[in-house]
Amino acid sequence: MRSNLTVKTLDRFIGITLGVIVYFCDSLKPARRKTHDCRKILLIKFCCLGDAVLTLPAIRALRHRYRNSEITMLCTPRTHDIYEWCSLADKIITFGVSGQKGKIELFGKALLLLKILIALRREKFDIVIDFDNYYTLTTIIGRFAGAPVRVGFASPGQGRKYFLTHRVNYTGNRHMVEFYADLVRALGIDVSDKNIDIASGVSPEKIDFIRKFLRNKGYDSLLPLIAIGPGRSHNWHFLRWDEEKFVKVAKELHNRYNAMIVIVGGKSEREIADRIMKKSNSGMMINAVAMLPLDLLIAMFKICDLFICNDSGPMHIAAGAGTPTLAVFGPANHVRWGPYGSMHRVVRKNIPCSPCLFMGRMKNCASLKCVENIEPEEVVSAASRMLEDNDLIMKRSLK
């Protein structure tokens, strides 16, 4: 977390300093800001997996408005798979901004970024839309791409506004789907359809593959199937709910509904999954962590009755796939970042200091009571209401 904050602080300092200089230089020359005659559009989204899911309604509306334009997506390995899966961009350029250590590796990253900037400049983009909300690096990239129209969030205290021609306020307590929609609304584009729907491309063959995978692990398709996501990326580990409490929730739901529990997550969550498996009864749980690429993970969610998780990327994927999702929230703003849609629910503690996480920064709490004080009984109660109120257990027999 500390190294992440150092990067953010450096990004902020450089962004404000460089931004003021660029803004002054731009004010000395006439603006050219036509949006109706648009041949090429550059979209930028570096962070993070779940955030990328929430941008999809806005990008679909943009794609519909500019059907004949060429759209290029500049993203990172963390967001690449989502954009490749949804096929809304004509080109995808991937730039890894993290995961490198040492001067040689950093120098290599700088050279790669320089090459990307030169290549983007040659494309002569008409519009750049920056979907990131706090890193200033992305707005710098957008500015040096040379597009006359540059849309992005004027996030407070970041210096981002100096690189933009169309500034979108990042204030208020709304869901991020609405904030991302504001970026394309700034170009006069209607975003009335805010359905995320990332599951429409899942083929029957993918569903069959998952059914066979589960059957081979001992799952009876007549029983309820509940997925859990106990992990979270290392940089955001403080958003994780206690894995022991996930075990208690899983056991209670298994006992109450005879449900099979399947654990999902990425490579970094293997150890968490292994520990949960050891603490659970044999025959009640399947470990699918790091076994499913994005398309099969979406297929898995399609046949699950419920997904219980931390505030995470898989949370947004499950909600976007139409799976009833129950998320445990702590310091993050559940109104902005909760699972999107009326069928989903959040369990959180309503204490005065929460939410405190904003723009990648949070209060230095001695203990995260907002997460730690959430008890398994609260999650079990919410899960039971979702399963019973929506007749999800009854519908199992029809699947």
Indicate the helix (H) or strand (E) that contains 40.
Answer: strand 40-45
* Cβ-proximal residues to 105 (8 Å cutoff; 6+ apart), any chain: none
Determine which helix (DSSP H) or strand (DSSP E) holds 396, and give its type and residue range. helix 392-396
Distance, in Å, from the CA atom of 316 to the CA atom of 325, rounded to the nearest integer, reads: 9
pLDDT tens, residue by residue, 106-152: 678 888 889 999 999 999 999 999 999 878 889 999 999 999 999 99
Backbone angles phi, psi at 98, to 5 degrees: -130, 175
Q: What distance in Å separates the CA atoms of residue 383 and residue 11, rounded to the nearest whole number?
A: 41
Write down the pLDDT at residue 359: 79
Which two structure tokens, joined as six digits, stand for 114?
A: 């320089």
Cis bond before residue 356 (omega within 30° of 0): no
Of 379, 377, 314, the residue nearest 345 (C-alpha): 379
Q: How high is the pLDDT of residue 30?
A: 54
Q: What pLDDT shows up at residue 203? A: 96
**pTM for this model (two decimals):** 0.90
Domains of the chain: 2-185 (3.40.50.2000), 204-396 (3.40.50.2000)
Tens digit of pLDDT for each residue in 60-112? Answer: 999 999 999 999 999 999 999 999 999 999 999 999 876 555 555 667 888 88
Could you tell me if 62 and 41 are in contact, meaning their C-beta atoms sit under 8 angstroms apart? yes
Confidence band for 14, pLDDT divided at 50, 70 and 90: low
pLDDT at residue 16, rounded to an integer: 54
3 state SS of 287: strand
Structure tokens at 152: 């992005």
Strand, coil or helix: 361: strand
Tens digit of each residue's pLDDT (9 = 90 or more) over 305-330: 999 999 999 999 999 999 999 999 99
Residue 205, helix vs strand vs coil: helix
Tokens representing 252 are: 């209670």
Q: What percent of the chain stands above pLDDT 70?
A: 86
Token pair 């983009």 in the structure block, residue: 125
Read off the pLDDT band of 298 (50, 70, 90).
very high
- Tokens representing residue 44 in the block: 């930028």
Owner of token pair 């979209």: 43
Q: How far is Cα of residue 248 from the mean position of the Cα atoms in its chain? A: 27
Query: Omega before 304 cis (within 30°)?
Result: no
Contact between residue 279 and residue 259 where contact means Cβ atoms under 8 Å apart: no
Q: What average pLDDT does the structure give for the chain?
A: 88
Q: Which of 188, 76, 193 is nearest to 138 (CA)?
A: 76
Return the number of other C-beta atoms located less than 10 Å from residue 380's C-beta.
Answer: 19
